[in-house]
Amino acid sequence: MLQRSPFYYLINLLIVGSGGREHALGWKLSQSKDIKRIYFAPGNAGTCQNVKIQALEINRLKAFAQQNDCFTIVGPECPLANGIVDSFLEDELGIFGPTKQASLLESSKIFAKKFMYENAIPTPRFKTFSDAEKAKDYVAREKCDLVVKADGLASGKGVVVCNDHAQAIDAIDGILLKKQYGVAGDRILIEEKISGEECSFIVICDGKTIIPLSSSQDHKRIFDGDKGPNTGGMGSYSPTPLMDQELYDSIMSRIMLPVIEGMRKKANPFKGFLYAGIMVEQNTKKPYALEFNVRMGDPECQSILMRMESDLFEYIDSASHEKLDSVSPIEWKNKFAVCVVMASKGYPETYEQGHPINGLNYNFGNDVKIFHSGTQIDTNNLIVTGGGRVLGVTALGYTVRNAIDNAYSAVRRISWGRNDYHYRKDIANRYSNVDKQACFFL
């Protein structure tokens, strides 16, 4: 482990963001022996020491961090894409996350795809378009199923997996012509749809060294059976029994390490959490990189951190000082974790807000944690709904089935409005019978 100076002092943290990911990060980091105080900007009803500064108010965040002697950790993608790290570093303020240029791996899917091709990283073949008619002509010539993606940031919703050409045409019209995702859809990419199983692979990077987190899988579609539109994520579980030593080695050697080396060669070393959305091809079991995120996933963060035994801040601190090669591998609980997202009814489209949430005061025990996302405190000091994805109910279990049962038992104790909530009932069901399989520890 990294040896600290005898003059090392406790750290104040500023966590930027308001979602379940940020709540989970703060919860885990609060367990560190090195942390004095944690502030959230702007936070939610589940976080303490909230600061009324929004995630894109970069100058105000800088001033607060400076005045309160904070090291800053950035949760969501938008401030990263807008250069928050560059701005903090210019004033010599400590911050964890990638620069604006390195964040292009997420903020531009077209940049990421070209980068993958340049660095021989396996990814589905693709074409890019800004003209709707040319995009439709391309679709008409293709014989395989396709995926249509908005180039820019769309809160996890700018991807349309198409089962036929008619759906692809509708997606092109929606993104390029109807501007469903605003300027994020000024350009699109159309890629070949690969059949297989998707998983999330997240690592901590310091620009040259990477340390992987536990594997996970999420559920992006709104309805059971992976039906309906994409969302920011309706649930997750960790680790995924899909992962074994061979797949892990292949992802590390063919995808993660080439990304870090490729960014270093571009003189844009990547520091922060790097998330790869991996498709494991059905027949060959070969991993393909579908996309990159330059921050922790949400809700993957919740299920991963529930299982983490090690001190998260030690790894963040080491990464910020380019000393990840001095720390040991992360230790994990010998349990599975399942996160079920409770969302406002109508999400990801229109939904009501302001409903008081019932059941949060129940004693759920040490193996269950309720991570807040779209929550706020109203004028009557009640915790009410304030967003699409409201809560991430996360539970541990010695088997997948046990973790599923613990999570849904907690979910059934929580409600708001007149059934004005929605959650998927099949999170982790794919592996619910894998009761005796040992976790694959990274």
pLDDT > 60? residue 207: yes
Integer Rg of the chain from CA: 21
pLDDT digits (tens, 9 = 90+) for 1-52: 444 444 456 899 999 999 999 999 999 999 999 999 999 999 999 999 999 9
Question: CA 269 to CA 77: how far, in whole Å?
Answer: 17
CATH no., domain 131-186: 3.30.1490.20
Q: What was the pLDDT predicted at 5?
A: 44
The answer to whether 106 touches 294, Cβ cutoff 8 Å, is: yes
Q: CATH 3.40.50.20 in the chain, residues?
A: 12-97
Cβ neighbours, 10 Å, residue 106: 22
Distance of CA 152 to the CA centre of its chain: 16
Question: Between the CA of residue 275 and those of 7, 79, 365, what are the distances in Å?
Answer: 35, 17, 30
Question: CA 172 to CA 114: how far, in whole Å?
Answer: 21
| CB-based burial label for 235 (10 Å; 0-12, 13-18, 19+) | buried
Q: CATH 3.30.470.20 in the chain, residues?
A: 196-431
pLDDT digits (tens, 9 = 90+) for 161-199: 998 999 999 999 999 999 999 999 999 999 999 999 999
The answer to whether 428 touches 404, Cβ cutoff 8 Å, is: yes
CATH no., domain 12-97: 3.40.50.20
For all residues of the chain together, what is the average pLDDT? 94
Cβ neighbours, 10 Å, residue 69: 14
Q: Which residue has the tokens 């310091």?
A: 206
| CB-based burial label for 4 (10 Å; 0-12, 13-18, 19+) | exposed
pLDDT digits (tens, 9 = 90+) for 209-236: 999 999 999 999 999 999 998 899 999 9
| DSSP-based three-state secondary structure for 271 | strand
Q: Where are the beta strands (DSSP E) in 43-152?
A: 70-74, 95-96, 126-129, 146-150
Q: What was the pLDDT predicted at 95?
A: 98
Q: How confident is the model at residue 307 (pLDDT cuts 50, 70, 90)?
A: very high
Helices then strands, each counted (H, E), the chain: 13, 24
Q: CATH 3.30.1490.20 in the chain, residues?
A: 131-186
The domain 196-431 is placed in CATH, from the list 1.10.1380.10, 3.50.50.60, 3.40.50.150, 3.30.470.20, at: 3.30.470.20
Question: Between the CA of residue 424 and those of 23, 189, 343, 390, what are the distances in Å?
Answer: 21, 29, 9, 13
pTM above 0.85, yes or no: yes
- Partner residues linked to 159 by β-bridges: 149
